[in-house]
Amino acid sequence: MQNWYGLKHPPLLFMSRGLNPRQIEAFRAVMQSGTVTAAAEVLHTTQPSVSRLLAQLARETRLTLFDHHQARLRPTPEAQALLAVVERHFEGMDAIALQIAAIRRSGAGSLRVGCTPALAQSVLPQVVHAFIAQRPEVHLKLDTASMTTLQAGLERGQHELVLTTQPVRHAGLDAEVLARRDMVAVLHPGHPLAARARLHVRDLQGQVLLTLNENDSTWQQLRRALQQHQVEPATVVETSYSSTVCLMAREGTGVGIVNPYVATVFGRELRALRLLPATPVEVVMAFAGQTGLSQAAREFAALVRSHFAALPAGREAGEPPAAAPVAA
């Protein structure tokens, strides 16, 4: 049975003229069960307690709600009229309870996260594994897309949080930098440059260069470095996905330039070398600034932070050890 105990603000009907929720519950229970004894059982209380609540209700309302007939209570027309009002309020509370359950199922019970492809392949699987172990009841929806698409999703409320390696510069979004690492060069183990401890952009002279497309911020940095050192690759192959760069490098097509996170996915299939001068890439977690996070989103974000905090400073799992500085 519904009860009003614990409500900070009970309905006005129950607060007027000294009425309280317990009196209304006792009245409703007697009307439904037919006797004070049965009502006491339903309410898990005593018969004298129910009788006392009925007397208080009659006094406060100044209505004759029952008369006695052959040791039974008979409801009066006034009681029937009051019951109709009471039932409408209980139906309203039932509707609220159903809506709360629906919100839990479709709102707080689900989480939609956006992620750029490189992080979706490298970082996200470990975070998702930990999250599902912690919150198995949450329906997790993962969207992998470009930062332009993900930013629009945040603005429209389609995502609660987004992970990206692209800069987040939008007044309506809150951004948190989780890590800052340098891009690496990936090569087939048999590539002539694979035996090096590190590469300089000058080593890319005459090489087939595999990169992300021109809209990527790291490619823009790399292009400036190539121009500064007057380096001319044999050709440049651009693609939208870091994983495609790695796959082409694995085939021996050329030298790929990717963030260190996606390089770890390919492990021993590729050589990953530091590239100088350093081309930094940031991992950013972004939120919609005007909307608070659900409990599920807060827990997911905490796991993401823990993941990056556990990584050795300045090095990713599978990234080559730091080498001595080389003059630019």
pLDDT in tens, 278-323: 988 889 999 887 778 888 899 999 999 999 998 875 444 334 433 3
Say whether pLDDT at 259 is over 80: yes
Q: Nearest 5°: phi and psi at 283?
A: -100, 125
The pLDDT of residue 146 is 83
Domain 109-179+282-309 identical in fold to domain 184-278: yes
**Is the pLDDT assigned to residue 13 strictly greater than 80?**
no
Where in the chain are the domains?
12-107, 109-179+282-309, 184-278
Q: What percent of the chain has pLDDT over 70?
A: 87
Say how many residues make up the chain.
Answer: 328
Tell me yes or no: is domain 12-107 CATH 1.10.357.10. no
Q: Could you read off the pLDDT of 104-133 as tens digits, one per residue?
A: 665 557 889 999 888 988 889 999 999 999
Looking at the predicted structure, is the pLDDT value of residue 99 above 80?
Answer: no
Of 60, 80, 81, 79, nearest to 15 by C-alpha is: 60
Looking at domain 109-179+282-309, what is its CATH homologous superfamily?
Answer: Periplasmic binding protein-like II (3.40.190.10)
Could you tell me if 246 and 258 are in contact, meaning their C-beta atoms sit under 8 angstroms apart?
Answer: yes
Question: In this model, does residue 188 exceed pLDDT 90?
Answer: yes
Domain at 184-278, CATH homologous superfamily: Periplasmic binding protein-like II (3.40.190.10)
What number of H helices and E strands is found in the chain?
12, 13
pTM score of the predicted model: 0.63
Residue 225's closest CA among 174, 277, 265, 182?
277
What's the rounded Cα separation, in Å, for the pair 187 and 254?
7
How many Cα atoms within 13 Å fall on the side-chain side of residue 69? 7
The pLDDT value recorded for residue 157 is 83
Q: How far apart are the first and last CA of the chain?
A: 76
Query: Burial, 279: exposed, middle or buried (Cβ in 10 Å; 0-12, 13-18, 19+)?
Result: buried
Give me the pLDDT at residue 261, please.
87
Cα–Cα dist 64/238, whole Å: 86
